[in-house]
């Protein structure tokens, strides 16, 4: 990266040397079979060829959010982003981003298509696993950390899918219809943070429409908001085949039409000829692409030349360590009756392990499907890891694959404790029909629970599921899609070698109907699922449960620990326009443990905001009897609502209540501040 010449200056110098055809070639991709390292086109999502005459390197684009994907071999399968968010640990997320970026670079990939920051509005969304949950503040923090990590390498991160993509039903044609305030307060903040705080190099516009305008053709959201208001000078790339008209998209703010489009080149060239596409517009588009390439070091740090890069193993033990830590930290303990966990059986006891994901840690169980799918041939199965760990404690493990409830019950009946692994299978392109566990797994869990009172359910799911058997089991652990360290992580958590450090980044509902988007007009949408009506407005996730006083099954922010924490001594201090909140957290149990105290704001009535909104959090690790002081600064923006008269952030004068708790439904300290 040049220290002296600014990326925009370098871009403009290079631009001056480019012909129109040089320029147009930089604005769309070609078939990935042309990529030098591709094995018959496999292993890459997109490819823009180099321009050797002008020394412009190629752009190779790959997903994604859970590790370098698209069929690449030898990369780390990290836990799904929903598990990453459940860590509430931006520091660790940055390490994860840095590891993914490094692996991408080793693979000759210079544009990474992630993170996905679409807010979890609909729990049935087939891509729920692929983003950071239902809260804009938490999603922003995770996205910024991830992008910071990725872009420590000469790799461009891509925040997606702008501005909204809340379901997969009719994803190419659905119009997501929402009001200005909802867009600003709920859906845009992670994109804003990615651009402003993390200086992301690329933004991907979404497949669908927003208020009946194609996202990749939206002059207001791409042009006015992203370009003018946020001053985004990097690449706007289309989702794959999301460009309906290259000239119309170009005029609205799009730069890069992906994955391939001879038509884009022809229509842009014809537009230039006819005077409907100005040379200035083309120059602007090329400048955006080149500026990100210069700024992120693509010219100065080309990927290492190597043979057979597609086959190369680039995952390192350090990367696997990050994957393991994220899996452990993101695992959420939802129920633990009678302190059944951690397992402390004593020697010569038997653990019955049940369920397909326990026996086969294939990619299908450790990650979600679609473009974020990372192959995980070396994933460690829970059965392997639990058997090894149990042997250390001189215990035995038996196994039933869970296809037959009676067989599973028989194995469980003759064991001291039963651990049932259950799954859902989320994938891009399809929403889940409902929130039930598929394939009769509820019956298997019920049969096992009947046979053994010490039954623990481990959920390998990409989002909320219903738990009709909740009262019948002793424990529930949400392990999400845990990535390739699957077995190692869950064995460590179940045996208490690691703390189940996760907290829910998304509310779990009690039924398919007691949730914010229960009307068919909201999801999958009115007019045969062509129009998703966001009638819940800003009441997304826990905001809706609070506003409507609906009981969740498990609330946002919830997660148990193997120890207990006490919060005390809340102090709220105002220095100028900054508000800082201080309190102590004490581990008053007998084990070391992790807690994630959360700070919520309750605005004055005049702001017409939901009853509480997340405005701070901090992950803390504490030894028994240890106390720490947590200090959080409430960002100014958290005090503001989006005013649709002035089209600006506005602070409603009045009393703001400050709520500190261990989840959105367990508030332990209260203070206030006036604004």
Active site residues: 239
- Smallest gap from Cβ 65 to ligand BGC, in A, equals 8
Q: Which of 248, 65, 238 is nearest to 162 (CA)?
A: 238
Distance CA(253)–CA(238), nearest Å, equals 10
Q: Rank residues 44 and 137 by Cβ distance to ligand BGC and give the closer one.
A: 44
Strands 59-62 and 111-112: parallel
Whole-number Å distance between alpha carbons of 172 and 155: 28
User: 194 in helix, strand or coil?
Assistant: helix
Instruction: Choose between 113 and 459: whose C-beta lies nearer to ligand BGC.
Output: 113
Alpha carbon distance 370, 195 (integer Å): 26
Measured from the Cβ of residue 174, the count of other Cβ atoms closer than 10 Å reads 23
Ranges assigned E (strand) in 138-219:
156-162, 175-177, 202-205, 209-210, 213-214
* Runs of H (alpha helix) within 393-477: 405-413, 441-451
Residues 43, 217, 200, 642, CA torsion sign:
negative
Q: Residue 26 Cβ, how far from ligand BGC at the closest point, in Å?
A: 19
Q: Rounded to the nearest whole angstrom, what is the least distance from the CB of residue 374 to ligand BGC in the complex?
A: 12
Cα 80 to Cα 465: distance, rounded to the nearest angstrom: 16
Percent helix, strand, coil in the chain, to 5, is 35, 25, 45
Rounded to whole angstroms, how far apart are CA atoms 487 and 90?
24
CB 373, min distance to ligand BGC, A: 10
In the complex with ligand BGC, the residue whose CB is nearer, 70 or 320, is 70
Per the CB < 8 A criterion, the answer to whether 80 and 130 are in contact is yes
Of the candidates 155, 193, 142, the one whose C-alpha atom is nearest the C-alpha of residue 61 is 155
Nearer to ligand BGC, 127 or 665 (CB): 127
Contact 324, 485 (CB under 8 A): yes
Residues that bind ligand BGC (CB under 6 A): 45, 63, 113, 160, 239-240, 371
Q: Is 649 helix (H, G, I), strand (E, B) or coil?
A: strand
Our CB check for ligand BGC shows the closer of 103 and 539 to be 103
DSSP readout, 280-310?
Answer: HHHHHHHHHHHHHHHHTTTTTSPPPP-TTTT
Based on CB atoms, which residue is closest to ligand BGC, 121 or 160? Answer: 160
Q: Which is nearer to ligand BGC, 70 or 531 (CB)?
A: 70
- The least CB distance from residue 367 to ligand BGC, in Å, is 14
CB of 205 to ligand BGC, least distance (A): 11
What is d(CA 138, CA 128) in angstroms, rounded to the nearest whole number? 15
What is the nearest approach in angstroms of ligand BGC to the Cβ of residue 171?
8
């Amino acid at each position: 990266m040049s220290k002296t010449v600014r990326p925009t200056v370098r871009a403009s110098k290079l631009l001056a040397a480019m012909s129109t055809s040089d320029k147009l070639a930089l604005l769309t991709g070609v078939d990935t079979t042309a990529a030098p390292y591709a094995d018959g086109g496999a292993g890459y999502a997109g490819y823009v060829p180099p321009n050797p005459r002008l020394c412009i390197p190629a752009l190779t684009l790959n997903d994604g959010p859970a590790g370098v994907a698209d069929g690449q071999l030898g990369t780390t399968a990290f836990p799904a982003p929903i598990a990453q968010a459940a860590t509430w640990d931006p520091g660790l997320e940055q390490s994860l981003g840095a590891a993914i970026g490094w692996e991408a670079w080793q693979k000759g990939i210079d544009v990474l298509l992630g993170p996905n920051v679409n807010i979890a509005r609909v729990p049935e969304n087939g891509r729920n696993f692929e983003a950071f949950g239902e809260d804009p503040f938490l999603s922003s923090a995770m996205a910024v950390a991830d992008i910071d990590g990725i872009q420590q390498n000469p790799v461009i991160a891509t925040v997606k899918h702008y501005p909204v993509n809340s379901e997969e039903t009719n994803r190419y044609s659905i119009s997501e219809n929402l009001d200005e305030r909802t867009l600003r307060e709920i859906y845009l903040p992670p994109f804003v943070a990615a651009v402003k705080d993390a200086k992301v190099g690329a933004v991907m516009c979404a497949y669908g429409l927003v208020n009946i305008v194609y996202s990749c053709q939206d002059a207001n959201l791409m042009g006015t908001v992203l370009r003018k208001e946020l001053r985004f000078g990097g690449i706007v790339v289309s989702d794959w085949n999301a460009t309906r008209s290259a000239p119309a998209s170009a005029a609205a703010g799009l730069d890069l039409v992906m994955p391939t489009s001879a038509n884009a080149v022809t229509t842009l060239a014809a537009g230039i000829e006819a005077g409907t596409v100005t040379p200035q517009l083309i120059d602007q588009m090329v400048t955006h692409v080149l500026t990100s390439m210069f700024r992120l070091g693509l010219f100065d740090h080309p990927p290492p030349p190597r043979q057979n890069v597609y086959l190369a193993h680039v995952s390192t033990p350090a990367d696997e360590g990050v994957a393991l830590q994220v899996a452990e930290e993101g695992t959420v303990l939802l129920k633990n009756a009678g302190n059944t966990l951690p397992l402390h059986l004593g020697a010569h006891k038997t653990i019955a392990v049940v369920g397909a994901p326990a026996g086969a840690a294939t990619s299908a169980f450790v990650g979600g499907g679609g473009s974020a799918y990372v192959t995980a041939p070396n994933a460690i199965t829970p059965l392997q890891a639990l058997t090894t760990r149990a042997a250390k404690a001189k215990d035995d493990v038996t196994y039933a694959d869970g296809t037959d409830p009676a067989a599973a019950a028989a194995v469980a009946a003759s064991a001291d404790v039963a651990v049932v692994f259950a799954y859902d299978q989320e994938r891009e392109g399809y929403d889940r029909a409902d929130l039930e566990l598929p394939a009769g797994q509820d019956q298997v869990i019920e049969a096992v629970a009947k046979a053994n009172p010490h039954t623990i359910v481990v959920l390998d799911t990409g989002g909320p599921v219903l738990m009709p058997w909740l009262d019948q089991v002793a424990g529930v652990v949400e392990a999400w899609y845990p990535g390739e360290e699957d077995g190692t992580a869950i064995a460590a958590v179940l045996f208490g070698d690691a703390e189940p450090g996760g907290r829910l980044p998304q509310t779990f509902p009690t039924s398919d109907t007691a949730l914010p988007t229960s009307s068919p007009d909201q999801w999958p949408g009115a007019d045969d699922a062509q129009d998703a009506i966001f009638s819940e407005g800003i009441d997304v996730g826990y905001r809706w449960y609070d506003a409507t006083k609906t009981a969740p099954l498990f609330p946002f922010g919830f997660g148990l620990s193997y120890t207990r924490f006490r919060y005390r001594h809340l102090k709220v201090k105002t220095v100028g326009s900054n508000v800082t909140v201080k309190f102590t957290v004490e581990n008053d149990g007998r084990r070391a443990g992790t807690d994630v105290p959360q700070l919520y704001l309750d605005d004055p009535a005049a702001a017409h905001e939901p009853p509480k909104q997340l405005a701070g959090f901090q992950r803390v690790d504490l030894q028994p009897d240890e106390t720490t002081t947590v200090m959080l600064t409430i960002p100014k923006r958290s005090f503001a609502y989006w005013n649709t008269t002035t089209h600006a952030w506005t602070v409603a004068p009045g009393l703001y209540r400050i709520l500190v708790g261990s989840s959105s439904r367990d508030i332990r300290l209260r203070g206030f501040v006036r604004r």
